[in-house]
Structure 1
Amino acid sequence: MSTPLPEHAIDRLQDRLERLPLRERKKLRTRRAIQDQALRLFEEQGYDETTVEQIAAAAEISPSTFFRYFPTKEDVVVTDEYDPIMAELFREQPADLSPIEALRATMREILPQMYETDLDAMTARMRLTACVPALRARTFESLREGTHAVLKELVAERVGRSQDDADVKTFTWAVLGVLQAAMYEWLDGAPIENLPAVVDRNLEFLSRGCPL
């Protein structure tokens, strides 16, 4: 069963982007334009055959500008703007929710926004990541440096522990594991519309201690 897109969640998240300072909105538009051109070229020519110079030319920027937004070619695939939005939504969840329940509530809001605005790009990025070894390696680095670091900070805040607490770090890696499991279920043939439901099911399974 697919998960419906709650309009209030879409509106709230779109409003967050629109409330960014003008300079940040311009940077976001430029970053998305570069990424859109890159994904188009990757689909038309192949990832390895596409150069940064070609992406920059298609986006009407210089290669040096490309590298101001994306440190490497791999980053144009693995980077998005959702970690800060996820953090804001997570912190807004009721204080009596456990970390896993707060995260489930957060994902119920953020995934519809991704579907509404970025479904094609999200699909292309996931397929590329699954097929290109360099992207798989960079995705792991990005998860460790970005999403895992954000989740670790959020979970530590909610439970009143240090970010260096071994249990906090293990918990956040477990969360990323079940999220990746949902991605690979889709890559194995599950309809993309089912992804939010699979993510929620996996997080609920983790909340029960993964009983088998």
Structure 2
Amino acid sequence: MPGLRERKKARTKAAIQREAVRLFRDQGYSATTMEQIAEAAEVAPSTVFRYFATKQDLVFSHDYDLPFAMMFQAQSPDLTPIQAERQTISSMLKDISPQELALQRERWVLILSEPELWGASLGGISRTMRVMSAEVAKRTGRSPADASVRAYTGAVFGVMLQVSLEWADDPDMDFATALDEALRCLDDLRP
């Protein structure tokens, strides 16, 4: 368990990001300054910059690639890639509080509504797709460049994008269930 100092840092970082997303929603991404975010989070501007070097980082501050890779490889080798994928995603979503999930949705809506953020998100999506391809390749004994692995990764990301777009339009949607149901449809696709 993290110590008191680490927990305080995590709370401060989360408060800054929460206030930033609120301000972006209320007054627009471009109109919001780092100083306004610091004031809303009741911290100094230097504290905001300590945790988030740029305004974009306030939206893209989560890195799930390493936890995903570790959890995916820990799944039973008897599972198909999509079954292992579903179990990994389900476990990761269970670890997210309802408040954090609501913040994730707000960040996603923001990314979709701001062309600058949508463009910036493509780099992260590409990186995550490469991680997923590498993990599926390890699991199946194939190369990440194998056409089956690339098609599988593209199909999974297509499903995830579709469900995420629906979630952006429907805040009451049970994201975890909808994503799992959609991914289950890919079970017949086996690299």
Per the shorter chain, which TM-score range?
0.7 to 0.9
Which sections of structure 2, spanning at least 5 residues, go unmatched? none
Aligned to 1:180, what secondary structure does the other structure show?
Answer: helix
Task: Say how many residue pairs are matched.
Answer: 188
**Which shifted more, 109-118 or 180-189?**
109-118
Post-superposition Cα deviations, 1:135-164, rounded to whole Å, max 9, x if no partner, equal: 21122221112x223212221221122333
1:31 matches 2:13 = yes
Q: Which has the higher contact order (CA 8 A, sep 6+)?
A: 1
TM-score w.r.t. length of structure 1? 0.74
CA 1:201–1:51 in structure 2 vs 1: closer, same or farther (change >3 Å)? same
Q: C-alpha displacement at 1:100, in angstroms? A: 0.8
Structure 2 counterpart of 1:191, one-letter code: D
1:197 matches 2:180 = no
Structure 2 equivalent of residue 102 of structure 1: 84
Distance in 2, matches of 1:172 and 1:28, equals 32
Q: C-alpha displacement at 1:29, in angstroms? A: 4.1
Distance in 1, matches of 2:73 and 2:4, equals 24
Structure 2 counterpart of 1:174, one-letter code: A
Distance in 1, matches of 2:120 and 2:73, equals 28
Q: C-alpha displacement at 1:181, in angstroms? A: 0.5
Structure 2 equivalent of residue 138 of structure 1: 120
1:125 matches 2:107 = yes
Which sections of structure 1, spanning at least 5 residues, go unmatched? 1-17
Distance in 1, matches of 2:137 and 2:182, equals 21
CA 1:49–1:152 in structure 2 vs 1: closer, same or farther (change >3 Å)? same
Q: C-alpha displacement at 1:99, in angstroms? A: 1.2
1:150 matches 2:100 = no
Structure 1 counterpart of 2:131, one-letter code: V
CA contact (8 A) 1:75 1:138 kept: no
Distance in 2, matches of 1:154 and 1:24, equals 30
Structure 2 equivalent of residue 163 of structure 1: 144
TM-score w.r.t. length of structure 2? 0.81
Q: C-alpha displacement at 1:50, in angstroms? A: 0.4
The one of 87, 90, 100 aligned to 2:72:
90
